Chains A and B, each alone.
Chain A
């Protein structure tokens, strides 16, 4: 499970890196169309509205640059330092932003967990954000039946199924969220306490 999980993440990170082109704009962006995200090939996605859907096979999309270009984006280092300083923390009562990724999507999102009061609300928020169906959690069967399974990384670095612990415990230990494809999530359910 771990290995499978890791390989998906690695695909996401490294393949896009090798796909970089530093050519000047104006030259055509020839990106190969990619259908599957499991076969180790590079991936594509098209976007509609402000959501990110996978598995649409028409348009090409130039992935964002992972390599650091000097002085880009143009954010002053002074500003950067302020950003680090002022990151809101739970204690101050400010928002609690966690990274949310969905397998197959080139971009992360961020979510303020503090605005949700329950798993239902959270799932609803995730579904809206990624335009996907997650469905309801059941203790016995997890998210069986849905294509996407929400997981989270806890304080110990373990990946858990969202919904397996009481809400408050979840809020205090959730470091980041990841919506996995259900076919990859098998076995996670067994981590439930």
Chain B
């Protein structure tokens, strides 16, 4: 490159594209050297930004694709591994998401797909140096895990969330063969737990582990193997063990890894520990870098004090699994002088929650502790929520789950008044998931006024199609008030008796909405049409048991390609309607799942529509028909 050439400003290049000018006009700007461009672009991480970059012009498209190291695939069927490989030659890290979210609720039959194996096969030839794989809702077999372990020499990080199809045998393969593994993160999977032997498969020569999370696995691992592993992995900074690891054992582990930044303990209860308690205390105090603490199963006042010194440095305390009495909690929080984030799961808090919340209130005022997430069982009732509202002004996320969701006897847990109490006390709420059995429009309107910052609002009135229990009116105005007041709303789940009016509101006001979940709602096709026409940023629409038919489905003809996916089950859509959609939009995969009974009534019982550059699925099981 001639050093005398004036370096063009990036702005000039973008302008020239916007006006339709040829970006390579020699009269206008000089070319950016490719390697400089690649270097600059390599600093961009966000895949959305990278997408934008790639659209600027051909040079930028190429520079971007050569410099990309991580690819995020939100729907594994939207693209094929071959296409990914062809476009991005230098990938080191892949995030893949598979099944539609409603598979979490048993609406997707087994063997539906989202098998990771075809991906691994292609990657083994194209990305032999693949380092990271993060999977969510994918079908993963032990064979796949073995394949992964044996075909990617430099493989470093594996994260599995909500996946199924594998067992601890698959983990054995990973432990045995991945000589450079730095991360193994196993969370909330449908794993077949055959025992803890997998952990013993890490060879003695293996020393690279930095992150190990097996908190969600139930079987006992060999402590001897774990201790040896921890002692030789000098770079270990995140360790989250399962409940079987005792206090004595924890103490021994801490001896070997004083540099931990995040610790998830095992059980915190033991009859008698072997050494003096002071020694244990020192062990914790020696972990000077510890900023995150979780686990604490069964913690009692007998041993909890050992962590007090370490608490001073904690910025994040996750009490989701701890069972603490109020006095224990007081003491614990008293020592947490640097705490910024506190997670509670109130299944496990003791009675006299009011006292506990009083404590929290003091802590927030004195120390500025941010209680950021409460997960609550609705047993706590409205009184409990009142207390939350009165003591946690900085609360950002609240999730209230039903204690007995499938019990034949129906239990009235929290009501609208609890929700209103919380909203009054916690104006910073951004994320709410609320299961209840009664709600009113007026209450939700108040809540919307109190908390205009909602980004995620998921309200589940558990009896399908239930109206405002006081006025007997539909719950339209409730969600209307939410979408009007909460301009930042990204995710919305609606329930109760709802007419098309609700959808009219959503279409008109929810301009930032990306995900919408609908069940047992709407009066006609208009409902769905409103949403498809009005919600500019809609990415995922999942609908079940609504009276939306072909007209509604087809009204989204021009919309679906800008979305990740559409799910419709138990609606009024027919095969003909789906076929028409498929015909008009060849770049969409229109998949219909057949009923068990094999009813040939022309109805399309489960429809899954998504954009794809890979064409129809080649691995569709017999009950999935791609039109």
**Which residues of A approach B to under 8 Å, CB–CB?**
13, 24-26, 29, 47-50, 52, 59-62, 64-66, 68-80, 83, 86-88, 92-97, 99, 101, 106-110, 112, 114-115
Is the pair B348, A71 in contact by a Cβ cutoff of 8 Å?
no
Question: In the complex, which of the residues B106, B162, B298, B469 contacts A47, with contact meaning CB atoms closer than 8 Å?
Answer: B469
Cα(A102)–Cα(B381), bound, Å:
17
- The 10 A-B residue pairs whose C-beta atoms are closest, nearest first, are A71-B105, A25-B465, A107-B412, A95-B351, A114-B351, A26-B523, A108-B411, A50-B415, A64-B463, A75-B405
Cα(A114)–Cα(B349), bound, Å:
12
Interface set, chain B 541-561, CB cutoff 8 A to A: 544-547
Q: Is B98 positioned at the interface, with any CB of A under 8 Å from its CB?
A: no
- Chain B min CB distance to A109 (Å): 6
Interface set, chain B 329-349, CB cutoff 8 A to A: 345, 347-349
Q: Is B618 positioned at the interface, with any CB of A under 8 Å from its CB?
A: no
Stretch at the interface among B30-38, B147-155, B514-522: B514-522
Q: How many residues of B contact A (CB 8 A)?
A: 62
Cα(A69)–Cα(B438), bound, Å:
19
Name the B residues within 8 Å of A93 (CB-CB).
323, 325, 350
Is the pair B406, A108 in contact by a Cβ cutoff of 8 Å?
no
A25-B520, A72-B519, A88-B323 known; A95-B350 Cβ under 8 A = yes
* Nearest-CB residue, chain B, relative to A96: B351
Q: Is B12 positioned at the interface, with any CB of A under 8 Å from its CB?
A: no
A26-B523, A73-B402, A74-B105 known; A64-B410 Cβ under 8 A = yes
**Which residues of B approach A to under 8 Å, CB–CB?**
102, 104-107, 162, 188, 190, 298, 321, 323, 325, 345, 347-352, 377, 379, 381-382, 401-403, 405-406, 408-413, 415-417, 435, 437-438, 460, 462-466, 469-470, 472, 497-499, 517, 519-523, 544-547
Is the pair A107, B402 in contact by a Cβ cutoff of 8 Å?
no
Is chain B's binding surface mostly helix, strand, loop or mixed?
loop
Name the B residues within 8 Å of A108 (CB-CB).
409-412
- Chain A min CB distance to B298 (Å): 7
Name the A residues within 8 Å of B405 (CB-CB).
73, 75, 80
Name the A residues within 8 Å of B522 (CB-CB).
25-26
A26-B523, A47-B469, A75-B405 known; A107-B410 Cβ under 8 A = yes
Is chain A's binding surface mostly helix, strand, loop or mixed?
loop
* Nearest-CB residue, chain B, relative to A115: B351
- Chain A min CB distance to B116 (Å): 19
- Chain A min CB distance to B567 (Å): 12
Is the pair B412, A76 in contact by a Cβ cutoff of 8 Å?
no
Cα(A3)–Cα(B395), bound, Å:
51
Is the pair A78, B188 in contact by a Cβ cutoff of 8 Å?
yes
Name the A residues within 8 Å of B345 (CB-CB).
86
Name the A residues within 8 Å of B437 (CB-CB).
64, 107
- Chain A min CB distance to B102 (Å): 7
Cα(A26)–Cα(B498), bound, Å:
7
Name the A residues within 8 Å of B349 (CB-CB).
94-95
Name the B residues within 8 Å of A106 (CB-CB).
410
* Nearest-CB residue, chain A, relative to B410: A64
Cα(A74)–Cα(B402), bound, Å:
10
A25-B522, A94-B350 known; A110-B323 Cβ under 8 A = no
